[in-house]
Chain A
Amino acid sequence: MKIAVCIKRVPDSETRVKIAADGLSLDEAGVKFILNPYDEFAVEEALRRKEQAGTGEVMVLSLGPAAAQETIRTALAMGADRGVLLQADRVPADGLAVARALAAELKDGGFDLILCGKIAIDDSNHQVGPMVAELLGLPCVTAVSKLEIAGSTATAEREVEGGVEVVEFPLPAVITADKGLNEPRLPALKGIMAAKKKPLDVKPFQGAAAGIDVLKMTLPPERQAGKIVGEGAAAVPELVRLLREEAKVL
């Protein structure tokens, strides 16, 4: 089984981000970057599929700065076979520009399955996976929390509002991974050492004109301190009044 996984280098969710002087990007100084957690589910699923099939290849593909090689090597340390980096100084804000570059790289790869995370935790766009599928003319199932493959047909479960949707689709296909799909493995120390010797191709990103530009980035306003209205039952009328008149939530 030949599988491709699209991954992204993102700031660690534990990081306190600062906005750079240009007002358009993050200040990367002192920021720890990680493999996007949803992409981690995608990598894990690809590895399990390959292990289950007993044969095949897992290729990881990323668009990002030179430092994204480290992110690719994280996936290689987990067990992926090879990596490709489409190197760009800055990842385009336009998901379509990213999807076009990824799709062009994946087009002739002969992949049975293409996996992505359902969302990148930095820009939260949810775009790239479905766009890649569309550009390649493949079926796309998003936010998959369970996947079963039998021959060239796959069944996936998606958690939808209030229930579970079960879908069937032919391979090749693009799926985007949701939490619950699996529990990603930690890269073993031998895997980390082996990753250094696995092939990692770096190619320049050839981007088309962007349809979307970022105009401004701002941090959310600081949260105001709460108000203690009083204590005991006597405070309830005042609390209700404030919720109704000031907070306007009742």
Chain B
Amino acid sequence: MASRFQGVDFYDMDGLLSEEERAVRDTVRDWVDAELMPVIAEHYLAGKFPKALVPRMAELGFFGANLPEEYGCAGLNNVAYGLIMQELERGDSGVRSFASVQGALVMYPIYAFGSEDQKKSYLPRLASGELIGCFGLTEPDYGSNPGGMITVAKETADGWVLNGAKMWITNGSTAQVAIVWAKTAGLDDIASIRGFIVPTDAKGFTAKDQKGKLSLRASDTSELVLEDVRVPKDALLPRSGGLKSPLMCLTQARYGIAWGAIGAAMACYDEAVSYAKNRVMFGRPIGGFQIQQVRLAEMLTEITKAQLLCLQLGRLKDRGTATPQQVSLAKRNNVDMATECAREARRLLGANGILAEYQSMRHMANLESVYTYEGTHDVHSLILGQEITGISAFS
């Protein structure tokens, strides 16, 4: 019966959601209020992922929720899945990132490119949180250009040997299983990129936390090193092939990020509105001053636009017609708007805005990572530029 986060709903978005979509949203919202909000600030300050929350998140069905029930998942549609991401990121981008990686970057590739045996073996254990996964695509020298990767997998008589290094890997040091992308032929052969399910306790596999982060502090980010890591033949995801496969995973994750950013923006807006109404300066609430009203009006406008954008994208995805470029537009727009909302909310809060007791600066710092990962804002501009003109800026 504790007070529940009310969200932002200026255009009756609720009226566009089904009963079950609203019910899913409310479960996640209530869970965030009850279990994440009380502990997030201390974890953020300590630079620790709140790992103790994983079993409850799994029990409630937050991981891979849009994958089928036969693999232990909730079998939700993509709008409900997006709402989960929105609500988790209303708590913290790091916790949403955890769920994104587990669902969209580990469970999804196993579901999309794995054998039936792999799906049956891994998906229920990932859904239940028994296994935590990570996704190794980005390398120290290959971020926006993943096709340039130099991690290689050589086929042997009884399996594969992997060599290389991966960087900026969310959940890297926590995971029991890593989806590692490697070239199986020459370094200039992008078509030879395949995915592998690599146990993180394999000999030659090391994961080291990246220290000194000023963003996503409640999330583990690691460097993975693979030195003659031997895996059996059935570690290969048989239906993966070429750079397109990991990019398909990223499209799934970016879709969730577009929704997640709305959650972060909502949290900041909510905090800003409440602060503006209560903080008195020059004898009246600061919400009565035009400059703060403009700030709040901008935030509300951008959040509302982002909500409608994501909802239609989700409906297209459920229809099976959403394109990666449409996902790029949503990720680019929504993360950018959330970054702006967080910054403006932080400013509205004045000096209090720099404290961890309030949320806005934590979201502001988090969103700088979200702005940069899963295709930077600029890269998504170029993806759209190519879509518009037919001319690639990358080659």
Q: Which residues of A contact B30 (CB under 8 A)?
A: 186
Q: Is A2 an interface residue (CB 8 A)?
A: no
Q: Is B76 an interface residue (CB 8 A)?
A: yes
Per-residue A-contact encoding for B164-203, CB less than 8 Å = 1, 0 else: 0000000000000000000000000000000000000000
By the criterion CB–CB under 8 Å, are A188 and B6 in contact? no
Q: Which residues of B contact A32 (CB under 8 A)?
A: 14
By the criterion CB–CB under 8 Å, are B1 and A37 in contact? yes
Q: Is A18 an interface residue (CB 8 A)?
A: no
Per-residue B-contact encoding for A65-81, CB less than 8 Å = 1, 0 else: 00000100110010000
Query: Contact check: which of A30, A37, A73, A188 meets B27 at CB < 8 Å?
Result: A188
Q: How far is the CA of A12 from the CA of B3 in the complex (A)?
A: 10
Looking at A86-94, A153-161, A189-197, A220-228, the stretch in contact with chain B turns out to be A189-197
Q: How far is the CA of A73 from the CA of B74 in the complex (A)?
A: 17
Query: Contact check: which of A12, A70, A193 meets B76 at CB < 8 Å?
Result: A193
Q: How far is the CA of A190 from the CA of B65 in the complex (A)?
A: 9
Known: A14-B3, A189-B76, A193-B75. Contact between A73 and B23, CB under 8 A? yes
Q: Is A206 an interface residue (CB 8 A)?
A: no
By the criterion CB–CB under 8 Å, are B60 and A188 in contact? yes
By the criterion CB–CB under 8 Å, are B1 and A189 in contact? no
Known: A14-B4, A188-B60. Contact between A196 and B27, CB under 8 A? no
Q: Is A13 an interface residue (CB 8 A)?
A: yes
Q: Closest Cβ of chain B: how far from A7's Cβ, in Å?
A: 15
Q: Which residues of B contact A12 (CB under 8 A)?
A: 4
Q: Closest Cβ of chain B: how far from A187's Cβ, in Å?
A: 5
Q: Which residues of B contact A198 (CB under 8 A)?
A: none
Q: Which residues of B contact A30 (CB under 8 A)?
A: 12
Task: Tell me whether chain B's interface is mostly helix, strand or loop, or mixed.
Answer: helix
By the criterion CB–CB under 8 Å, are B61 and A189 in contact? yes
Q: Which residues of B contact A193 (CB under 8 A)?
A: 20, 69, 74-76
By the criterion CB–CB under 8 Å, are A190 and B27 in contact? no
Q: Which residues of A contact B1 (CB under 8 A)?
A: 13, 37, 179
Per-residue B-contact encoding for A191-221, CB less than 8 Å = 1, 0 else: 0110010000000000000000000000000
Residue of A nearest to B127 (CB): A190
Q: Is B141 an interface residue (CB 8 A)?
A: no
Q: Closest Cβ of chain B: how far from A171's Cβ, in Å?
A: 28
Q: How far is the CA of A73 from the CA of B23 in the complex (A)?
A: 9
Per-residue A-contact encoding for B66-102, CB less than 8 Å = 1, 0 else: 0001000011100010001000000000000000000
Q: Which residues of B contact A186 (CB under 8 A)?
A: 27, 30-31, 34, 60
- Kindly name the residue among A13, A74, A179, A192 whose own CB sees the greatest number of chain B CB atoms within 10 A: A192
Per-residue A-contact encoding for B26-39, CB less than 8 Å = 1, 0 else: 01001100100000
Q: How far is the CA of A14 from the CA of B3 in the complex (A)?
A: 7
By the criterion CB–CB under 8 Å, are A189 and B4 in contact? no
Per-residue B-contact encoding for A162-203, CB less than 8 Å = 1, 0 else: 000000000000000001000000111110110010000000
Q: Which residues of B contact A189 (CB under 8 A)?
A: 24, 27, 60-62, 65, 74, 76, 80, 84
Q: Closest Cβ of chain B: how far from A30's Cβ, in Å?
A: 8
Q: Which residues of A contact B31 (CB under 8 A)?
A: 186
By the criterion CB–CB under 8 Å, are A77 and B59 in contact? no
Binding site for A on B (CB under 8 A): 1, 3-4, 6, 12, 14, 19-20, 23-24, 27, 30-31, 34, 59-62, 65, 69, 74-76, 80, 84
What would be 12 A-B contacts, judged by CB atoms less than 8 Å apart?
A: A14-B3, A73-B23, A187-B27, A188-B60, A189-B60, A189-B61, A189-B65, A189-B76, A190-B74, A190-B75, A192-B23, A192-B24
* Besides the known contacts A14-B4, A30-B12, A77-B23, 17 further A-B residue pairs in the complex with CB atoms under 8 A apart: A14-B6, A70-B19, A73-B23, A179-B1, A186-B31, A188-B27, A188-B61, A189-B24, A189-B62, A189-B80, A192-B20, A192-B23, A192-B24, A192-B27, A193-B74, A193-B75, A193-B76
